[in-house]
Structure formats: C-alpha cells, structure tokens
C-alpha cells in the first residue's frame, strides 16, 4: 500500500503540473472501487478548476472551485499523468484537463477510490478521526506519549493506527522500529519517554529519506511519470526474511502481527520492553 512517502511523492510530482488546470471531462469504468464517483458527482466536478493539491495522511485532496475531490490509492493504485489516457488493464478513472493532460487512475486490486465532497473534507468524520502528521512542525510528542501510556497494543500496531499517527504503514513501521532497536510486539505503554522521542526522530528521518528517493517500489507503486521509487534499496528489515542483518549478521525473521507481515532482527531487537 502506498504510504506517506509514496503519496507525498505523487503530490509533489502532480502539483506544479495540474494546479490551475480545469477538469473538462471524466471517464470511469463500471468496476466497483472502495469509493466510486457517481454520474452526478462527475457532472458536478467537470468544468471546475484545481485550486490546490494537498496530502493528508495517505489521501490526496484535490481542492476544486466548489469542493474537494479525494483520492485514496488503496493497496495497489497509482496515477499517471500524460498527454493521452493511460491504456492499460485496471484503469478505472481518467480526468481530462484543459492543460492538455490526462490524469489516469489505475488500481488492479480496487481497494482505493475517489470521493467528491462538495463542502470540503476537513469537517468530515473521515478526516476528523485522523491523527497528527509525523512530519509536521506541530507534532506534539508529549501528546503521543500520553496516548501510548494508555495503550497495551503492540507498538507496531499502535504506529500503524491512523488515529494515532497518520501515513505510517507496514514498511515504515518495521523500519523505524528496527532503527530504534524496539521489538515490534513491545506494548506501547512500556516505552520510556527517551525511547519514544528517539523512535519519532528515526521515523521522521526514514520518511524524509524515502520521500527524497521517490518512495518504495516493491510491486505496483510508481510516480505519475512512471518512475520507480528507490528507497527499497535502503530497507534494513522489510521484505528481507532470511537475509543477514546489516548490523549483526543474524537472519531477519518474519511473522504475522495484527494480520500484517512483520520483520525484525531478533538480536538487535530482542527486548520486549524499553
């Protein structure tokens, strides 16, 4: 699933090319997505201008003249911006722009989708329930500590809960915990203040590095120009089951935690309390 760095990469690629453009036509497949624009939604959006593009959590918010068009890429979705519509299987939506570009949405697994919110997203339950942005200057570590102190959840599951901290998925939760030498199953409430501060710092460093390298491309992810992300070359534990740890040479192990594949070095991350 595209996480914060991948969605931010897409946002930065699209923003200078489409802001100010007007939507002239929308075509959609008949396949069901997580969210689907109805015919009336598409009619409402056509002729509107893209005023701004922002990322919130793992969502892309296209602010239009009279509302917000929200996209979530799901597990396998990606966007392509080119002079002609993308001709590929699983293209479910195409936005034609008056700047002679077509923004196409391709999603093989169909867990993503698009939603039209005429009144804007920021007062909707979907966005009100989201936690803070990990890269925001306003991130309050003390507030995170308070939330952690009340939780017996495994820290990896806690990190991936979008009500606690947004944009962090399986890849970057695994990587941040390894960088901080925390066992993924450690209860969140057992982490000391110093360890939490270091964890957040490491998470921010990793997210910024991933953005700088265009995100992580393992299966489906690519930027809007078809470029792959290269942070996969920097992964320390994720998707490295059975390979030697770069630090101690023990084998990286994999198991299921919260129904998600979890990767760790049991030598570097052998303590369940910090």
Q: Is the pLDDT of residue 229 over 70?
A: no
Note the pLDDT of residue 158. 98
How many other CB atoms are there within 10 angstroms of residue 214's CB atom? 21
Segment 98-113 shows an average pLDDT of 91
- Collapsing DSSP to helix, strand or coil, 235 comes out as coil
Number of domains in the chain: 2
How many other CB atoms are there within 10 angstroms of residue 252's CB atom? 22
Q: What single string gives the DSSP state of each residue in 27-47?
A: EE-SS--SB---HHHHHHHTT
Q: Are residues 82 and 114 in the same domain?
A: yes
List the catalytic residue out of 2, 5, 134, 184: 2
Domain boundary, last residue among 69, 102, 128: 128
Active site residue 15: no
Specify if 274 maps to a domain: no
Listed residue (44, 68, 67, 66) closest to 56, CA to CA? 68
Note the pLDDT of residue 34. 79
CB 96 within 8 Å of CB 42: no
CATH number at residue 194: 1.10.8.50
Q: Are residues 10 and 124 in the same domain?
A: yes
Q: Computed from CA positions of residues 248, 252, 255, 259, in that sequence, does the dihedral angle turn out positive or negative? A: positive
Domain boundary, last residue among 128, 160, 176: 128
Between 271 and 108, residue with greater pLDDT: 108
Number of H helices, E strands in the chain: 7, 10
Highest-scoring range by mean pLDDT, 80-94, 106-120, 140-154:
140-154
List the catalytic residue out of 22, 147, 254, 260: 260
Q: Is the pLDDT of residue 136 over 90?
A: yes
Residue 137 corresponds to which tokens in the numbers above?
């200057």
CATH number at residue 49: 3.20.190.10
Mean pLDDT of the chain: 92
Confidence of residue 86 (pLDDT cuts 50, 70, 90): confident
Segment 114-141 shows an average pLDDT of 93
Q: Are residues 8 and 117 in the same domain?
A: yes
Active site residue 271: no
Q: Are residues 9 and 124 in the same domain?
A: yes
Active site residue 3: yes
Specify if 166 maps to a domain: yes
Q: Is the pLDDT of residue 224 over 80?
A: no
List the catalytic residue out of 42, 55, 56, 58: 58
Active site residue 2: yes
Residue written as token pair 């804007």: 120
Q: Is the pLDDT of residue 221 over 70?
A: no
Specify if 273 maps to a domain: no
| Per-residue pLDDT tens over the stretch 17-68 | 999 999 999 998 877 787 889 999 999 999 999 999 999 999 999 999 999 9
Specify if 136 maps to a domain: no
Note the pLDDT of residue 232. 83
Weakest mean pLDDT among 34-38, 69-73, 241-245: 34-38
Q: Are residues 253 and 181 in the same domain?
A: yes
Weakest mean pLDDT among 98-107, 225-234, 235-244: 225-234
Note the pLDDT of residue 31. 78
Residue 7 corresponds to which tokens in the numbers above?
């969605």
List the catalytic residue out of 3, 6, 175, 185: 3
Q: Is the pLDDT of residue 104 over 90?
A: yes
Q: Are residues 150 and 97 in the same domain?
A: no
Note the pLDDT of residue 168. 97
Q: Are residues 121 and 24 in the same domain?
A: yes
Domain boundary, last residue among 102, 128, 154: 128
CA distance 40 to 191: 50
Q: Are residues 108 and 207 in the same domain?
A: no
Q: Is the pLDDT of residue 270 over 90?
A: no
Segment 244-254 shows an average pLDDT of 98
Confidence of residue 218 (pLDDT cuts 50, 70, 90): low
What is the domain extent for residue 206?
Answer: 141-265
Q: Are residues 68 and 180 in the same domain?
A: no
């Amino acid at each position: 699933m595209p996480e914060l760095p991948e969605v931010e990469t897409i946002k930065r690629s699209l923003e200078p090319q489409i802001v100010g453009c007007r939507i002239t036509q929308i075509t959609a497949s008949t396949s069901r997505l997580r969210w689907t624009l109805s015919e009336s939604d598409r009619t409402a959006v056509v002729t509107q201008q893209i005023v701004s593009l922002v990322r919130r959590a793992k969502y892309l918010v296209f602010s239009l003249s009279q509302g917000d068009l929200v996209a979530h890429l799901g597990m396998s979705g990606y966007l392509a911006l080119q002079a002609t519509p993308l001709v590929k299987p699983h293209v479910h939506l195409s936005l034609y722009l008056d700047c002679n570009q077509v923004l196409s949405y391709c999603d093989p697994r169909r867990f993503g989708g698009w939603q039209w919110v005429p009144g804007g997203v920021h007062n909707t339950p979907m966005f009100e329930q989201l936690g803070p942005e990990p890269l925001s200057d306003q991130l309050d570590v003390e507030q995170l500590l308070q939330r952690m102190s009340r939780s017996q959840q495994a820290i990896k599951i806690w990190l991936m809960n979008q009500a606690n901290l947004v944009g962090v998925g399986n890849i970057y939760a695994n990587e941040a915990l390894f960088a901080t030498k925390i066992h993924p199953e450690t209860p969140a409430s057992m982490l000391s203040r110093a360890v939490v501060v270091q964890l957040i710092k490491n998470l921010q460093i990793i997210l910024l590095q991933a953005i700088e390298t265009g995100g992580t491309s393992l299966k489906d992810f690519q930027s809007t120009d078809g470029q792959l992300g290269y942070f996969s070359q920097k992964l320390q534990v994720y998707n490295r089951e059975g390979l030697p740890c770069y630090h101690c040479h023990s084998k990286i192990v994999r198991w299921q935690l919260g129904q998600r594949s979890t990767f760790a070095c049991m030598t570097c991350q052998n303590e369940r309390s910090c």
